[in-house]
Amino acid sequence: IDRLRFTFGVQSLVEANSKGDRNPTSVRLQIHLERYGQWVVEKEITITGKTTTQYLASVIVDNLPPRPFGIRMIRVTADSTTDQLQNNTVWSSYTEIIDVRQRYPNTAVIGLQVESEQFGSQQVTRNYHFFGRIIHVPSNYDPVARTYSGIWDGTFKPAYSNNPAWCLWDVLTHPRYGMGQRIGAADVD
């Protein structure tokens, strides 16, 4: 776990005066984490406003202690003792966040960012032209002209190719994404 997201809030947040006017009020909370046996204040939160419905907020706590550790939320503001002050607090949830480095090894990734105003109501269309993978083809093969010259000496060269026969041979013999760990080049006829 790299970070924690705490979601908390108030069921309502309003204070009525003697005339019946509803005024904003506030409530203070603290998030504590247990670090090496000691409770430490990680975040101080003050929610200020006026609402008669539930309001939730979130904060993220980084730099977590080694596990296991304790978590607690403390309400610093005194509890309401009158119907004129409504400020009940709720702890809705916490979320464990694990930062994963999303890598795409051996993959071409394309990203495009455009302003939608440039295209009005039209759908943005993207087209790409790519050569494909560099695969092993016979040394006497010209992948552009798709022709063979002379007698093949039994060796291969790396080249871009969209020839289905050599693409299939590559898939059958490549050790990473093909069957190359189970069969060898001599097994493909």
- pLDDT truncated to tens, each residue of the chain (189 aa)? 889 999 999 999 999 988 889 999 999 999 999 998 899 999 999 999 999 999 999 999 998 998 889 999 999 999 988 889 999 999 999 899 988 877 777 777 788 888 777 877 787 788 888 777 899 999 999 999 999 999 999 999 999 998 999 999 999 999 888 888 888 788 887
Query: How is the chain split into domains, by residue range?
Result: 3-97, 134-187
Specify the pLDDT at position 185.
Answer: 80
Q: How far apart are CA 87 and CA 78, in angstroms?
A: 10
Specify the pLDDT at position 42.
Answer: 94
Distances in Å between the Cα of 100 and the Cα atoms of 58, 64, 113 are 21, 16, 23
In the numeric block, which tokens belong to residue 161? 């190719």
Contacts with 93 (C-beta within 8 Å, 6 or more apart), sequence order? 6, 7
